[in-house]
Amino acid sequence: MVFSSLLFLFLFFAVTMAVYCLSDTLSKKNIVLLAASLIFYAWGGPRYLLLLLLMSGISWISALFIYENRQNVVMKKVFLAAGVGLQLLLLGYFKYAGFLLRNVQKVTGFPEEIPNIVLPIGISFYTFQLISYVIDVYWENVRPQRKYWLVLLYAGLFFQCIAGPIVRYKDVAYEIEHRKTKLSEIGDGINRFTTGLVKKAIFANSCAEIADTLLPQKLAELDSVPALGLWLGVLMYMLQIYLDFSAYSDMAIGMGWMTGFHFKENFNYPYIADSVTEFWRRWHISLSSFFRDYVYIPLGGNRRGQKRTMLNLFIVWALTGLWHGAYWNFVLWGLFYYVFLVIEKNGFLDKLKTLPSAVGHIYTLVVVYFGWILFKFSDMAYLGHTLRGMFGLNGNGFANLEVKIVFENNMFFIAASILACTPLFKLGYRWCVRKARRITAVRWLCNAVEVAGPVFLVLIATMALVGNSYNPFLYFQF
Which residues, other chains included, contact 313 with Cβ-Cβ below 8 Å and sequence gap of 6+? 296, 338, 341, 342, 345
Which residues have C-beta within 8 Å of that of residue 380, sequence separation ≥ 6? 328, 329
Is residue 420 exposed (0-12), middle (13-18) or buried (19+ Cβ within 10 Å)?
buried
C-alpha dihedral (265, 267, 269, 272), degrees to nearest 10: 120
- Omega into 111 within 30° of 0, i.e. cis? yes
- Whole-angstrom distance, CA of residue 243 vs CA of residue 78: 42
3-state helix, strand, coil in the chain (%, to 5): 75, 0, 25
Catalytic pick among 178, 262, 284, 324: 324
> How far, in Å, CA of 397 to CA of 399, rounded?
6
Residue 157 in contact with residue 171, Cβ under 8 Å?
no
Ramachandran sector of residue 140 (left: φ over 0; alpha: ψ -120 to 50; beta: rest):
left
CA neighbor of 123 nearest in space, from 161, 160, 84: 161
The H-assigned helical ranges of 168-305 are 169-178, 183-198, 205-214, 219-224, 227-258, 276-282, 285-291
Known catalytic residue: 361? no
d(CA 382, CA 355): 37
Amino acid identity for residue 164 in this structure: G
What are the angstrom distances between the C-alpha of 28 and each of 49, 199, 404, 414? 22, 33, 57, 46
What is the 8-class DSSP label of residue 71? T
Distance CA 216, CA 385 (A): 12
Active site members: 324
